[in-house]
Amino acid sequence: MAKIQLNGKQFVLNKKHSLISLLKKFKINEKKVAVELNGKIVNKNKFSSTVIKNKDKLEVVHFIGGG
């Protein structure tokens, strides 16, 4: 079990999650976001191999197009 903070809100995860599986759990399109994990930006090619741990703090920012 892991207690994490995602965009300022507390969540409890009952099983291990990679960053990509966490994004899918919360229905977040991984192609249109930037993710900061514990103060560091995570490269998109590391989403599958990055495991979320207890007390991790994540910030997910969505890209919005406009003109």
> What is the structure's pLDDT at 39?
97
Spatial distance between the Cα atoms of 29 and 46, rounded to a whole number of angstroms: 15
- Residue range 14-25, pLDDT digits in tens: 999 999 999 999
Give the start-end residues of each E strand in 1-65. Answer: 2-6, 9-13, 33-37, 40-42, 57-62
Q: Which fold has domain 2-62?
A: Ubiquitin-like (UB roll) (3.10.20)
What confidence score (pLDDT) does residue 65 get? Answer: 72
Residue written as tokens 């406009």? 66
**Which residues contact residue 56 at a Cβ distance below 8 angstroms, ignoring those fewer than 6 apart?**
2, 4, 5, 37, 38
Whole-structure pTM value = 0.87
Mean pLDDT of 19-39: 95
Tokens at 30, concatenated: 């991984």
